[in-house]
Structure 1
Amino acid sequence: MRPPCLKNIKAIVESIDHAMTDVVRITIFLKNISDLDAVHEVYAAFFPDYVPVLTTVAVAALPLDALVQIEALVSHGEGTIPGAPQAGDLIKVVRNTDKAPTSHLSAQTVAFSHYNNLSAQLPIDPSTGKRVGGGIKEQTQQCLKNIKAILESIDVPFDDIVKINIFLTDLANVAAVNEVYTTFFPDSAIARAVAYVPARTIAAVSGLPLNALVQIEAVVSHGDGTPPQLVEDRHGIVIKAHNTDNAPTCGLSTQTVAFSHYNHISAQLPIDPKTQAIVPGGVKKQAEQCLKNIKAIIESINHSMSDVVKVNIFLKNIGDIAAVDDVYSTYFANAAPARRTVGVGALPNDALIQIDVTVSHAEGTPRKA
């Protein structure tokens, strides 16, 4: 029987006059990594020909004690400008290279409009098709090498990455991951000159395919756009990175990276920017601090919480959803954005909650002068 998750996604997609072939990214959260093959078997029936990019992880818990939760990102060629459709025949560009791992279940990269979405990369050596040997450092390096190979195959520089998501089976490995991470970011002399690093989220998971220790996914700016947009100057749209002292700062991530019509916000922990420490109190206090940090970042770039289009909530205890919702509703009283909530069992700094968001940026980012 087809799982309700994919049936629900198909119903939503069709309700806005789209088709499953318009999906560019799928993210699957499993309660048990042992269910991976069964879920992928059903998944393949919904994508018999075209396959989007894919991320699959196991988490500690899901709402309603579900076994699986699935989310989708859908291309929208007609745009959202009232009375002014944006080139309704914009196409998706799907690419694969033998220099990175391939899969019949997913494309390596799907470009649409001004973004490339990459499938989450496991530490697989493409020459053998197997997980690399060694520990967390070797596995992190292979994940990032695979991402770099995919980007080089589509002639996109590494520093065009605007958001990185890192999934770890053990948060104790963060320091080792960061050590490798800094050898890849910044990648170019220009990026080093301005100390550019993308927005970033790190989440603990209970299991990964192939028993990997780490899996990394990337969202990449695509200044040229996909046809029939006119080809602009090479990567001519500006990436605008910004930090404010009114929210916690980190040398390994930028608080917000704007590109084209989106701002990507790094995951926020319940850290008081004045003390740089986790706020005391329970999950309500911590949820409020996360949202205060997000609000401060958004307002620092002249936006408001009503511009948020997607929220991702990571909870140490899935049973805290109701308490979090009490706080959440005070920040999104009118228009509620799309949302995902998962239980991860552990968070950095032993926090109870972590939240990241994506923000609409109607004005877009400018072209290079």
Structure 2
Amino acid sequence: MSGHNAVVARNTEKAPKSPLHSQTVAFSHYNHFSAQLPVDPASGKLVAGGVKAQAEQCFKNIRAIVESIGHGLNDVIRLTVFVRDIMDVDAVDEVYKTFFTGYLPARTVLAVAALPMDALVQIEVLLSNGEGTIPGAPQAGDLVKMTNNTAHAPCDPLSTQTVAFSHYNNLAAQLPIDPLSGQLVVGGVQEQAAQCLKNIKAILASIDVPFDDIVKVNIFLKDLADSEAVNAVYARFFPDSAIARSAAYVPARTVVQVAALPLHALVQIEAVVSHGDGTPPQAVEDRHGLIVEANNTARAPKCRWSTQTVAFSHYNNISAQLPVDPVTGQVVAGGISAQAEQCLKNIREIVESIGHVMADVVKVNIFLRNIADIDAVDAVYAGFFPGGIPARRVLGTAALPMGALIQIDAVVSNAEGTPPLA
């Protein structure tokens, strides 16, 4: 690696701390936050009260971390709300509106089977980092955050469809809503998946970004058994162009079963998209000045629907890894500890295959069938991340692909960046 950028992990006493992960990890032009639980940093316990009190504490913790690194809430690019009960979203929204009174980030809302500490809500943000993390040479001048909404996709009064900063566009998760009627489309999961992807395509077209610039897709399903039906639709959208088809390019991907989605939808899809020309005041580059670098290694499980890692600019986006032995193609024998170790081994193989190390990981997302397994997972996790540097999120889900007990995905720094086309 070139050493032109540095991974910067930071913590403040004004928000809950953990020896296993950092509150925020900055690299290049983004700060990746650990998901915040409604924990009082003074007591280390969940705050008393219902979901509104808990949501307020989550936002207070986020604000404390944001301000501790010299930023403000207007620097939030993307925000994700995880609730235990989808009916609590309106109450969370009441609190949300008191923290975001003007500018609205891209946003995703979903209900999950369980949260750590039996919390009712957990909130996560991605924050811009205008000064960057080049040692001794901060970015000259602030980069501009660019927001966009189009009438060709559903508009949400509490979020922006896409927020661009530096070399990434972060899209709000798209529900299967017809933008003309404002209603869920008629039909089952295939019709709904197609509408989600049409909405994403419309948003990207509105900012003149091709569909094949998507580097990561997150699919949230009400029923994991719908995966094959969704994949049939997915294959109609990816690859999207002759160039992508010739390279058989598909984005990195994570598929998760959720407890519930807004409007009782069956599927919701979120995308992270490259932004080749970046955001001012940096010199505007040619649209395809930077390349998307996709990579697979035989030392980790391969999937026809995703690429193991997709690099763009200063980040590698890693597909969710199941506890699958790449030699046999089967879930490893043993309990949660063995499965957690296999997931992390697969991630390490992918990371090392592109010339990186685990210390370059800036964010880890852990999905568990049984949230009570977290202590066993943490014992394994500490062996792979002894410094506790990556930011982290832990969620409980009722089902995972192949009957696995755990699934893990990650975001990895990419100090050397990706080169321009020759």
Match of 1:363 in 2: 416
The answer to whether 1:254 aligns with 2:283 is no
Please state if 1:105 is matched with 2:155: no
CA distance in 2, matches of 1:35, 1:329: 34
In structure 2, what is the equivalent of residue 204 of structure 1? 257
Task: Report what 1:322 is aligned to.
Answer: 375
The answer to whether the Cα contact below 8 Å between 1:290 and 1:355 also exists between their aligned partners in 2 is yes
Partner of 2:73: 20
- What is the distance in 2 between the residues matched to 1:50 and 1:17? 18
Sequence identity of aligned pairs in percent? 68
Provide the C-alpha distance between the structure 2 equivalents of 1:7 and 1:317, rounded to a whole number of angstroms. 28
| Residues 66-215 of structure 1 aligned to structure 2 (within 5 Å) | 66-215=119-268
CA shift for structure 1 position 321: 0.3
Inter-partner Cα distance in structure 1 for 2:93 and 2:395: 20
Q: Is the 8 A contact 1:267 1:355 kept in 2?
A: yes
What is the rounded CA distance, in whole Å, between the counterparts of 2:225 and 2:93 in structure 1? 30
User: 1:304 aligned to 2:357?
Assistant: yes
CA distance in 1 between counterparts of 2:115 and 2:314 reads: 31
Separation (CA, whole Å) in 1 of partners of 2:206 and 2:231:
25
* Equivalence for 1:289: 342
Single out whichever of 39-48 and 200-209 deviates more from structure 2: 39-48
Q: Distance in 2 between matches of 1:280 and 1:335?
A: 27
Alignment counterpart, residue 345 of structure 1, candidates 369, 393, 398: 398
| Counterpart code for 2:91 | A
Q: How far apart are residue 328 of structure 1 and its match?
A: 0.1
1:10 and 1:235 map into 2 onto residues whose CA distance is 36
Amino acid of the residue matched to residue 80 of structure 1?
A: T
Q: Return the offset for 1:43.
A: 0.7
Asked whether 1:280 is paired with 2:333, we answer: yes
Q: Give the gaps of 5 or more residues in structure 1.
A: none
Counterparts of 1:365 and 1:269, CA distance in 2: 27
**RCO greater where, 1 or 2, for CA within 8 Å and sep 6 or more?**
2
Cα deviation for residue 93 of structure 1 reads: 0.3
For residues 311 and 45 of structure 1, the distance between their equivalents in structure 2, rounded to whole angstroms, comes to 29
- 1:229 positional shift: 1.2
* Equivalent residue runs for 1:23-34 within 5 Å: 23-34=76-87
RMSD over equivalenced CA pairs, Å: 0.7
Note the alpha carbon deviations across 1:342-361, whole angstroms, 9 max, x for none: 00111000100000000000
Instruction: Give the aligned partner of residue 278 of structure 2.
Output: 225
How far the C-alpha of 1:335 sits from its partner, in A, is 4.1
Letter of the aligned partner of 1:229 in structure 2? Q
Retained in 2: the 8 A contact 1:237–1:367?
yes
The one-letter code of the counterpart of 1:159 is: D
Q: Distance in 1 between matches of 2:256 and 2:289?
A: 32
Residue 235 of structure 1 and its aligned partner are, at CA, apart by: 2.2
What's the CA shift for 1:334?
1.9
Name the SS for the 1:202 alignment partner.
strand
Counterpart of 1:4 in structure 2 is 57
Mean Cα deviation higher: 226-235 or 110-119? 226-235
What amino acid is aligned across from residue 213 of structure 1 in structure 2? Answer: L
In the alignment, the residues of structure 1 paired with residue 284 and residue 250 of structure 2 have an alpha-carbon distance, to the nearest angstrom, of: 26
Deviation track 1:260-314 (CA, whole Å, cap 9, x = no partner) reads 0000000000000000000011000000000000000000000000000000000
Q: Supply the distance in 2 between the matched residues of 1:334 and 1:173 (Cα, whole angstroms).
A: 39
Q: Which residue of 1 aligns with 2:18?
A: none
TM (norm. structure 1) is 0.99
SS of match in other structure, 1:182: helix
SS at match of 1:296: helix
Q: Structure 1 residue runs of 4+, over 6 Å off?
A: none
Give the partner amino acid of 2:342.
Q
Q: What whole-Å deviation, never above 9, does each CA across 1:91-130 have from its counterpart, x for those lacking one?
A: 1000000000001100000000000000000000000111
Identify unmatched segments of 5+ residues in structure 2. 1-52
CA contact under 8 A between 1:306 and 1:335: conserved in structure 2? Answer: no
Alpha-carbon separation, structure 2, partners of 1:89 and 1:360:
21
What CA distance in whole angstroms lies between the structure 1 residues aligned with 2:351 and 2:117? 31
Deviation at residue 159 of structure 1 after TM alignment: 0.1
Partner of 1:244: 297
Q: What is the rounded CA distance, in whole Å, between the counterparts of 1:52 and 1:168 in structure 2? A: 23
Say how many residue pairs are matched.
Answer: 369
- Give 1:267's match in structure 2, choosing from 320, 323, 329: 320
Alpha-carbon contact 2:141-2:281 (below 8 Å) kept: no
Task: Kindly indicate whether the alpha-carbon contact (under 8 Å) linking 2:382 and 2:388 is maintained by their aligned counterparts in 1.
Answer: no
Secondary structure of the 2:237 match is coil
Query: Contact 1:79–1:88 at 8 Å: present in 2 too?
Result: no
- Counterpart code for 1:209: P
SS at match of 1:165: strand
